Chain A
Amino acid sequence: MTTLSIEELEVQYQLRDKTIRAVDKVSLFLKNNESLGIVGESACGKSTLGLAIIRSVPGGKIVNGDITLDGKSTLKMTEAEFAKTVRWKKISMVFQGAMNSLDPVFSIRQQFEEILQAHDYRGDRQKTINDIIDSVGLPPTVLDKFPHELSGGMKQRVVIAMALVLRPSLVIADEPTTALDVLVQAQILSLLKKLKKEGMSLILISHDLGIISEIADNVGIMYAGKIVEFGTLQEVYSNPKHPYTQALFKSMPKIKGEPELISLKGTPPNLANMQTGCRFYDRCTHAMEKCRKEPPKIKTESGHVLCWLYE
């Protein structure tokens, strides 16, 4: 049982002479046993947002805002306190491309033991490891193998099991199916669906609207560091409000239905020199004069949209 709320979060990367505002005043919430999907294209800040939640943004800094977990601010904790009580114990993460980060010279079992050791796990370690590897649908023989002996799908399951081993109540999965073959992708997805059913909360970060629709109760659409639209899956998918969300749906080739597509003009803006006003301005078909000013946050049925159209 977890509630997570993110308020006005700002994360920046400092380059020599530029500041990249990867996450800019993002507010989100995640209620008990719900799952959240973050959709966005590359470089929109979606991974940074995930990393900020576990307070590990390499090279970047959380400059503003707050994150509360079960009513307690995690950003106000000291690093030691956060590492001891929250990271991996309450919130863990499956990093993007994590299956390639398994250590080639240790067996899978040794890598699990290392996690338990680092977190001072008291209890039957071997049983815990066996249980968790079973829950991701792998046979126990996998434990005594080395990463190179496993297929991509198996490695991805191992990495998911590692995120689950301390039984966190919230797991952040950053593009957990990318770089896997289609059939394996679908299997990982049904695994995540199963884990969700068993009570795990999930934040799923992906560029794929289809994958998000399998898991997420609520969806945030991220564009250039901002959550431009947020709401229930039902509302965002059947009645998208922000022109970017609408364009995203129209530009996705579908298997069923009409293969009529409308492409989006231009490319996402550079996060290093952002103009004021709506970030979608240059590519938006509805752009108006007042869009040069920062768009207001309009309340929708189940969430919000950042757009002048609905003022």
Chain B
Amino acid sequence: MEEILSVKNLKKYFVKGGFARQKETVRAVDDISFSIKSGQTFVLAGESGSGKTTVARLILRSIEPESGDIIFDGIKITNDASSLKKIRTECQMIHQDPYASVDPRMKIFDIVREPLDIHAIGKPSERKDLVFAALRDVKLDPEEIASKYPHMLSGGQRQRVAIARSIATKPKLIIADEPVSMLDVSVRVGILELIKELQNKHGISFLYITHDLSTARYVGHVISILYLGKIVETGLINDVLLHPRHPYTQALMDSISEPNPANLQKEKKIRINEPIETDVYQGCRFRARCPYAIEKCKQEPELEPSGDKRSVACFVKID
């Protein structure tokens, strides 16, 4: 299987403060490499502040990386017009909040049509059909919905409109940044099913960014766990989630409450310590909270293969 996107040694630092305060460098994305196979869903999972959205912005080049390469569909993305045009038509994004990501003053038809106009896809006379086809693909009735405004739709429908807009340009890769976390439980599954269906029908690859490991397991094939700008564990989704090896992944799994009546009598145990003061950029970043930390963890662990198509960045590696 061919790789649609490959990211190599990507780095992005932000500088915080400066006025009346000591300048501080935040390593939001620190030497991250991963690749997405064509037709697959790659999950980037982490808590807030782990740098997952920064990765998305770097891929679409809405911010400049410090260093590192992004190779999309065989072409290295740089600042020249042709590669930017390629990534911005063939790679689309779905945002978290469907209430903020669509223009409230535009009709649904125009919202979905806008990317076609911008990228001059199809003849103007054909664009109506393309818009209708995209709306049908996301299970919305174009006749009924095209002339409505976003406020007339429910959250789930709005997210479908955002998805229709993203598939209108026939992209090869869609970056979905927490696409269901703002939606109600009962409509979430519908959106997840839609993502799977679009993948099967059009062969679209997805980069699914989330903090929610249970929805990740439902749509994903491969997963990378991000902690403070570093990938700590990566592998096939069931391997990583069902048998986590990195202490951070284990803590994340411990923290999930499944709907099980047996939970009531059990104590909730999460394998982390109260954070101790450390310099996060010295050695393993999880060291401050890790219950297994040893002296060696003061050095930086590399992401190393640990069998079954998995890599873990940990000196201890607990099974």
Contact = CB atoms under 8 A, between A and B. Distances in A.
- B partners with A: yes
B257 A189 contact: yes
B64 interface: no
Nearest to A194: B267
Given A261-B218, A263-B189, A264-B186, A234 B259 contact: no
A302 to B, nearest CB: 12
A15 interface: no
Interface stretch (A52-60, A110-118, A119-127, A206-214): A206-214
B205 to A, nearest CB: 20
Interface string B208-219: 000101110110
Given A213-B263, A233-B261, A189 B268 contact: yes
A193 B218 contact: no
Interface string B241-264: 110000000011111111111011
A206 B42 CA distance: 30
Contacts of A214: 257, 263-264, 268
B70 to A, nearest CB: 28
Interface in A234-290: 234, 237-238, 247-249, 251-256, 259, 261-264, 267-268
Contacts of A234: 261
B217 A255 contact: yes
Interface stretch (A5-13, A67-75, A88-96, A180-188): A180-188
A217 B185 contact: no
Most buried by B among A210, A238, A253, A263: A253
Nearest to A215: B264
A214 B256 CA distance: 11
Interface residues of A, number: 42
A267 to B, nearest CB: 5
A251 B188 CA distance: 8
B48 interface: yes
Contact of B211 (A41, A181, A251, A267): A181
B254 A253 contact: no
Contacts of B106: none
Most buried by A among B193, B215, B270: B270
A255 B189 contact: no
A157 to B, nearest CB: 13
B278 interface: no
Contact of A253 (B48, B218, B264): B218
A193 B215 contact: no
A259 B241 CA distance: 12
Nearest to A263: B189
Contacts of A42: 184
Contacts of A41: 184-186
B258 A210 contact: yes
Most buried by A among B154, B242, B260: B260
A237 B257 CA distance: 14
A99 B214 CA distance: 26
A215 to B, nearest CB: 7
B185 A183 contact: no
Contacts of A207: 184-185
A32 interface: no
A237 B263 CA distance: 11
Contacts of A213: 257-261, 263-264
Contact of A251 (B189, B242, B267): B189
B255 to A, nearest CB: 3
B303 interface: no
Contacts of A256: 242, 258
Contacts of B261: 213, 233-234, 237-238
B124 interface: no
Interface in A32-59: 41-42
Nearest to B193: A263
A190 interface: yes
B156 interface: yes
Contacts of A164: none
A231 to B, nearest CB: 11
A186 B47 contact: no
A182 B47 contact: yes
A306 interface: no
Contact of B257 (A210, A251, A262, A264): A210
Nearest to B182: A42
Interface string B91-110: 00000000000000000000
B192 interface: yes
Nearest to B274: A137
B122 interface: no
Given A214-B264, A251-B185, A264-B187, A183 B255 contact: yes
B32 interface: no
Contacts of A253: 188-189, 192, 214-215, 217-218
A277 B252 CA distance: 43
Given A181-B47, A233-B261, A264-B189, A193 B217 contact: no
A261 B189 contact: yes
Given A183-B270, A251-B185, 15 more contacts: A181-B47, A181-B211, A183-B251, A190-B267, A208-B257, A210-B256, A210-B259, A213-B260, A238-B261, A248-B185, A252-B185, A253-B218, A255-B242, A263-B190, A264-B190
20 contacts: A41-B184, A183-B251, A185-B255, A186-B256, A190-B270, A207-B185, A209-B259, A210-B256, A213-B257, A213-B260, A215-B264, A251-B189, A253-B215, A254-B259, A255-B217, A256-B258, A264-B190, A267-B156, A267-B184, A267-B187
Interface of A: 41-42, 181-183, 185-187, 189-190, 193, 207-217, 233-234, 237-238, 247-249, 251-256, 259, 261-264, 267-268
Closest 8 CB pairs of A and B: A186-B255, A210-B257, A209-B259, A263-B189, A264-B186, A253-B214, A41-B184, A181-B47
